[in-house]
Amino acid sequence: MKKLIAGNWKMNGSLAANDALVRALVKGMEGDAGCSVAVCVPAPYLAQVQMLRAGSALELGAQDVSQHSEGAYTGEVSAAMLKEFGVRYTIVGHSERRQYHCETDALVAEKARAALAAGITPIVCVGETLAEREAGRTEEIVKRQLAAVIHANGHCISEIIVAYEPVWAIGTGKTATPGEAQQVHAVLRAQLKAATGHADRVHILYGGSMNAANAASLLAQPDIDGGLVGGASLKAADFLQIVRAAR
């Protein structure tokens, strides 16, 4: 199975900066990248990045999606709208949305369902806070978060992507050790296997201060199928180095 490296630009970018970044990524990915590569960009830039990546293997992702299909939901963006702009993936349940926008497990599950219904692959983020880890609750938390998505999405569950993102590692420069990450990935793998009931392998990405220096050792773990990369996805050279580590 090919690994997937997905960049999460968060609320960063400008027309000029995106132009330079995406052109550098497209150039750096010429030939066979050896893995799947995507950038999840702020919604206003979807059209720009869609044009810039045309003809390349770079895929387009969004950072969130509405659980509703259309209607009086000011400020929301539907999965069908994302689809019209060539979006292949959307992040759902990023810890910043759970924390700052009060997104619950049930809402995240609905968002995953809306994405799947439109033919977009949801990248479902799960992860514990530092307090939860220190209290020995990591497994319980990630299993609860994933269970909600499994419950709401039934037989479609093999179509999702999961990203294990320990909250304490996001944007902090603190990375889970390869062993710590692998331990949680194995738990999630077992949960997904039990839910899918067959051998379909769901991608489980690691996210949390992944960078050019630590990517290779994380990606060498048996249950780490790629990365969700925040800060390091804003620098073409760093992101391309992570992509190369995923070959």
CA pair distance 228, 111, nearest whole angstrom = 18
Residue 6 in the binding site for ligand PEP (CB under 6 A): no
Extract the runs of DSSP E, i.e. beta strands, from the chain: 4-8, 36-40, 59-62, 87-92, 121-126, 161-164, 204-207, 226-229
Work out the burial of residue 235: count CB atoms within 10 Å of its CB; fewer than 13 is exposed, 13-18 middle, 19 or more buried: middle
Q: How far is the CB of 70 from ligand PEP (least distance, A)?
A: 28
Active site residue 68: no
Residue 93 in the binding site for ligand PEP (CB under 6 A): no
Site string for ligand PEP, 128-167 (x = CB under 6 A): -------------------------------------x--
| Binding segment toward ligand PEP, per CB under 6 A, in 43-51, 56-64, 101-109, 206-214 | 206-214
Q: In the complex with ligand PEP, which residue's Cβ is closer, 22 or 229?
A: 229
Residue 122 in the binding site for ligand PEP (CB under 6 A): no
Residue 207 in the binding site for ligand PEP (CB under 6 A): yes
Q: In the complex with ligand PEP, which residue's Cβ is closer, 18 or 209?
A: 209
**Hey, which residues between 162 and 191 contact ligand PEP (CB under 6 A)?**
165, 170-171
Residues near 133 by Cβ (< 8 Å), separated by ≥ 6?
Answer: 166, 168
Catalytic residue among 59, 94, 103, 110: 94
Catalytic residue among 59, 96, 103, 165: 165
Active site residue 151: no
CA pair distance 121, 123, nearest whole angstrom = 6
Per the CB < 8 A criterion, the answer to whether 145 and 108 are in contact is yes
CA pair distance 172, 129, nearest whole angstrom = 12
CA pair distance 93, 114, nearest whole angstrom = 13
Among 28, 93, 127, 208, binds ligand PEP (CB under 6 A): 208
Residue 13 in the binding site for ligand PEP (CB under 6 A): no
**H or E element in which residue 83 lies:** helix 79-84
Among 13, 28, 166, 230, binds ligand PEP (CB under 6 A): 230
Structure tokens at 21: 């970044």
Q: If we measure between CA atoms, which residue out of 71, 28, 59, 195 comes closest to residue 123?
A: 59
Q: Which residues pair with 7 in a beta bridge?
A: 39, 229
| Binding segment toward ligand PEP, per CB under 6 A, in 24-32, 60-68, 185-193, 228-236 | 228-236
Q: How far is the CB of 26 from ligand PEP (least distance, A)?
A: 22
Report, as residue numbers or ranges, the catalytic residues: 94, 165
Q: Which residues bind ligand PEP (CB under 6 A)?
A: 8, 10, 165, 170-171, 207-210, 228-232
